[in-house]
């Protein structure tokens, strides 16, 4: 079996906020093989965006990586110098941020920004070459080349997001991370953007890491899923199997709420609806209907179950 494209090992990241230290990502483990399409699903505050930022080395100043490794083709991304990053960022790993972000320089034309991007990484290309490539990529995301002469504020959210997607493909990266790329967009644009991402990653065989809070969206795009809660990975496996047979109590809760919404039978949960993440023991223990004494004290480790097709982090399961 060839080595994975991306491997995250025991990653723990904390933030320092007003003299308090909070663990935002705790002991996260997973592997991503070339050609995979993995969905990372979790509610807000589960640490998924922090995870994504860490992969590209874009964590804010008040973030500290306490432990762990992020291996990309065997290289530990946490130990790169800024020169080394220049070869990796956007060329090998590209990222689409949340749709609500304004990821484009407001005082520069779209075309100019894309040209600048291309030339920075391809110093000796001719002007015609560059323009050709840019027009080609713009058409690929179903936009008219006239858009290149406009400024970001003249475009709609959906158009801006397509530009960002186009820019992420410009250098043909190996890994594409899409962090909530369609939140804040209307439903129609949402499905257009998602099918765009799916088509392109299939065409170019790009490994995809799709981060979302919406597991049904994930199922449109991805084969595998990683469920995150309270900063750590709770369950991992083939997406269809996880949905039809959730093992972790949190996943069960997630899936059943979805079904209730679909069936129209959503009732108030009997347990306290507080979203407190527990800082001792398993993060989910305060909300978990199966929680036991051990859950309040010990931190569960991920275990492979069901002939190694699933990974679960819960005291309910033994190897």
* Token duo for residue 144: 């008219």
Which residue among 35, 62, 105, 144 contacts other proteins (CB under 8 A)?
A: 105
* Token duo for residue 303: 């275990």
Do the beta carbons of residue 150 and residue 110 sit within 8 Å?
yes
Q: How far apart are CA 12 and CA 230, in angstroms?
A: 12
CB of 262 to other proteins, least distance (A): 31
CB of 268 to other proteins, least distance (A): 24
Considering only residues 4 to 43 of the shown chain, the ones binding other proteins according to CB under 8 A are: 18
Tokens 């595998």 correspond to what residue?
Answer: 224
| Total residues in contact with other proteins, by rule CB under 8 A | 32
Which residue among 16, 79, 86, 271 contacts other proteins (CB under 8 A)?
A: 86
Which residue among 97, 250, 284, 315 contacts other proteins (CB under 8 A)?
A: 97
The interaxial angle of helices 110-121 and 157-169, nearest 10 deg, is 20
Which residue among 72, 90, 210, 229 contacts other proteins (CB under 8 A)?
A: 90
Considering only residues 111 to 130 of the shown chain, the ones binding other proteins according to CB under 8 A are: 116-117, 120-121
- Closer residue to other proteins (CB): 71 or 155: 155
Q: How far apart are CA 179 and CA 219, in angstroms?
A: 15
Strands 63-72 and 75-76: antiparallel
Do the beta carbons of residue 216 and residue 183 sit within 8 Å?
no
Tokens 């949402």 correspond to what residue?
Answer: 190
Is position 82 an interface residue for other proteins (rule: CB under 8 A)?
Answer: yes
Q: Stretches 67-75, 79-87, 249-257, 266-274: which one binds other proteins (CB under 8 A)?
A: 79-87
Is position 104 an interface residue for other proteins (rule: CB under 8 A)?
Answer: yes
Which residue among 21, 64, 108, 259 contacts other proteins (CB under 8 A)?
A: 108
Q: Stretches 2-10, 82-90, 184-192, 291-299: which one binds other proteins (CB under 8 A)?
A: 82-90
Considering only residues 50 to 69 of the shown chain, the ones binding other proteins according to CB under 8 A are: 56, 58
DSSP 278: P
Is position 287 an interface residue for other proteins (rule: CB under 8 A)?
Answer: no
Q: Which residues bind other proteins (CB under 8 A)?
A: 18, 56, 58, 82, 85-91, 94-95, 97, 101-109, 116-117, 120-121, 151, 153-154, 164, 167
């Amino acid at each position: 079996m060839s080595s994975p494209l991306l491997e995250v090992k025991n990653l723990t990241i904390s933030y320092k906020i007003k003299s308090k230290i909070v663990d935002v990502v705790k002991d996260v483990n997973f592997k991503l093989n070339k050609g995979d399409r993995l969905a990372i699903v979790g509610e807000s505050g589960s640490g998924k965006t922090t995870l994504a930022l860490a992969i590209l080395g874009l964590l804010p100043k008040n973030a500290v990586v306490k432990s762990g490794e992020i291996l990309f083709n065997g290289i530990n991304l946490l130990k790169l110098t800024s020169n080394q990053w220049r070869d990796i960022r956007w060329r090998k790993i590209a990222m689409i941020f949340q749709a609500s972000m304004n990821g484009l320089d407001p005082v520069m034309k779209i075309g100019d920004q894309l040209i600048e991007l291309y030339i920075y990484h391809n110093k000796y290309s001719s002007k015609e070459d560059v323009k050709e490539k840019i027009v080609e990529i713009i058409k690929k995301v179903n936009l008219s080349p006239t858009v290149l002469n406009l400024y970001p504020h003249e475009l709609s959210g959906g158009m801006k997001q397509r530009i960002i997607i186009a820019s992420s493909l410009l250098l043909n990266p190996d890994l594409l991370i899409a962090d909530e790329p369609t939140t804040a967009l209307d439903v129609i644009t949402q499905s257009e953007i998602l099918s765009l991402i799916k088509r392109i990653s299939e065409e170019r065989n790009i490994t995809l890491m799709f981060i979302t809070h919406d597991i049904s969206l994930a199922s449109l795009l991805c084969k595998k899923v990683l469920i995150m809660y309270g900063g750590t990975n709770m369950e991992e496996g083939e997406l269809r199997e996880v949905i039809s047979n959730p093992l972790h109590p949190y996943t069960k809760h997630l899936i059943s709420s979805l079904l209730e919404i679909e069936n129209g039978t959503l009732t108030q949960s009997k347990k306290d609806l507080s979203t407190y993440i527990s800082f001792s023991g398993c993060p989910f223990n305060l909300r978990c209907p199966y929680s036991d004494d051990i859950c309040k004290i010990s931190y569960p480790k991920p275990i492979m179950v069901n002939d190694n097709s699933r990974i679960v982090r819960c005291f309910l399961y033994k190897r």
